Structure 1
């Protein structure tokens, strides 16, 4: 029996809140862990280039988004969509606490890959569910609020990790992150119970091939590829900070600052996107250009400014990307689109960070800002063309 419009709206809103809480608690877990990975690798005497190679974890995440998107899109089954979400968050619960139990970078790297695999598998299915339950809210502000909850967790998680590092050590800091992981699973179960059937999935007659994706999607993805090539990852930044003699417990706090700036900007960016569309993203390449030069000044004040700007970029990207794809891609193709976008973005982000890490390894990091400016200018040109074409 179909839900009445009012009942659907109330149920959809509650599901949206529960899924936002899932992200809050899950982010406390994996962002708390992420804030420690760089200094932890330096602590267990991994080479600098390993901090860049850890970005392969992001590649695994984005590649598995492609896999998760394909499985979800091909299944046309609500049960499969929810199963992918459960598996993704369940891996998060199991893997993160294990990271502090081993002192070998090879094992830590493998655990990072497994955790990123879970994150990638769940993302397309979760974003399809979110895009459906937020269609009457306004996707820009809805995804902005969801990102705000993400980043509230991403602020609290590193703060917990920082306190645990200050009072105990790395093992305890990773273990305590299991508590919010359990809470995320409880919230996920609540959302699933309220909304077991995803309407757009159930009414779909057949799967659709990815080649039907519109040109604007590919142009947007190309712009994101060039943006990611110059966007330094936190794995590298945190490694660099510890190598430059920053106290271990301060590095997760700096990550909290980054996530706080991400969270603060996410909802306003969502509102801006609902008003001006992809133009909301035009400032992002310019901000990315300034991050590395500020960090290389080696002044606490300018480094904090760079960290804040890093968080702002994450807020713009996470909010606008998901809302834009939901707006320009029809429902039947959406899981494929999120997956394909994730794969291409992940490959380019990994490649760009390996380049930056190698420059650091070779003691020529001072030349990295030149590389960043070039790729970000290309991204900006493509975004301007997209904004102009949409306006026409």
Structure 2
């Protein structure tokens, strides 16, 4: 597969190791937070603030990488911060320190995301972007399979030993940093556009093509009601499933996601991202409708499998689509702006979900998210945009 260049392989390996580190902690994070006194509402606020930190920085650093014509420094420093955040969680259990550690991790994500996605886009052509982003998502999600698996075996041998698990997660993060040193980016001309102030990180939106804004707006509406995956894990735990079963479900979800991401990208290149994304959102709605009824592990396993198919048909496909709706000199700003606004939407989504869960229960939380997903799927299924394949 000639379109998978050395740079694409290396960046995908970096994402694999980084996600291995992050996902060793993600499925146990809500369990750990509950064990140190965090309420469901506070967990929602923590996740929202963390994602907002990433959101406020993605657009800024993305357009900065366009301006100077370089992507790699942002990638290297971004992955470095995320690696540093892992052992931080093992130092203190105070709420303000937990917030600082999560914020450091998300700042690293904000620093690297726009530049990394632009680097992937720069390495290929519009005809292969679905497959390239799908391959990257597959490798990234393979790390999300390996990470929880390590956590599962660790906690089976050493129950509730979260402290040393945070230290262990530092090792694959360090491996990711070293791999970034092997990446070589192609020289490119700076965009020539002035770097906007941090508070104007999303200024690209005003000059973006209308086709970009239509697609991004629909996806952002969905993101505003798409709460953190932690709530699905909390629901499974609330329905009586053991910690090991909850982690096992998360591993299965990521395994399906990793296996389906590249085929979904290939399908997007052939049939068009519009149909692929709409199908993914319908799957999301089915999962959230079923989650309100699920009680036994087998039904939860079926739902998490569908959830993996939704992930494969959405994240990489949306990036590939949006990167084809902007000028090549604006790729970092375009993808960074969308990723940033998505993270800000996650602030509202996770915080809102926490309060709705507290006051109205999980059924209302999931019903609202599923309903919005269906509306956006209907829009994407019917709307026509420039440069989108029917």
Query: 8 Å contact 2:268–2:317 — kept in the other structure?
Result: yes
Pairing 1:1-392 to 2, within 5 Å after superposition: 13-56=5-48, 57-74=50-67, 76-78=68-70, 81-135=71-125, 138-168=128-158, 169-191=161-183, 194-195=184-185, 198-199=186-187, 201-202=188-189, 204-206=191-193, 210=204, 211-278=206-273, 279-296=275-292, 297-387=294-384, 390=388
CA RMSD of aligned residues (A): 2.3
Separation in 1, partners of 2:355, 2:192: 49
Query: 8 Å contact 2:236–2:300 — kept in the other structure?
Result: no
Alignment deviations for residues 87-106 of structure 1 (CA, whole Å, 9 cap, x no partner): 11001111112213432333
Query: 8 Å contact 2:23–2:148 — kept in the other structure?
Result: yes
Residue 359 of structure 1 deviates from its aligned partner by 2.0
Query: 8 Å contact 2:289–2:367 — kept in the other structure?
Result: no
With over 3 angstroms needed to count, the CA separation of the structure-2 counterparts of 1:68 and 1:204, relative to structure 1, is closer
Separation in 2, partners of 1:229, 1:341: 13
Separation in 2, partners of 1:91, 1:249: 29
Residue 175 of structure 1 deviates from its aligned partner by 1.2
Residue 109 of structure 1 deviates from its aligned partner by 2.5
What SS does structure 2 have at the residue aligned with 1:357? helix
Residue 205 of structure 1 deviates from its aligned partner by 4.9
Give every structure 1 segment of 4 or more consecutive aligned residues whose post-TM-superposition deviation is greater than 6 Å: none
TM-score by length of structure 1 reads 0.88
Alignment deviations for residues 214-243 of structure 1 (CA, whole Å, 9 cap, x no partner): 111111111112222343322222333344
Alignment deviations for residues 223-270 of structure 1 (CA, whole Å, 9 cap, x no partner): 112222343322222333344443333333222111111111101111
Separation in 1, partners of 2:252, 2:221: 26
Give the gaps of 5 or more residues in structure 1. Answer: 1-8
Separation in 2, partners of 1:103, 1:240: 24
Separation in 2, partners of 1:366, 1:212: 40
Residue 387 of structure 1 deviates from its aligned partner by 4.2
Query: 8 Å contact 1:158–1:255 — kept in the other structure?
Result: yes
Give the gaps of 5 or more residues in structure 2. Answer: 196-202
1:4 aligned residue: none
TM-score by length of structure 2 reads 0.89
Query: 8 Å contact 2:326–2:334 — kept in the other structure?
Result: yes
Aligned residues: 375
With over 3 angstroms needed to count, the CA separation of the structure-2 counterparts of 1:204 and 1:68, relative to structure 1, is closer
Larger helix fraction of residues: 1
Query: 8 Å contact 1:219–1:382 — kept in the other structure?
Result: no
With over 3 angstroms needed to count, the CA separation of the structure-2 counterparts of 1:239 and 1:102, relative to structure 1, is farther
Separation in 2, partners of 1:267, 1:158: 21
Residue 377 of structure 1 deviates from its aligned partner by 3.0
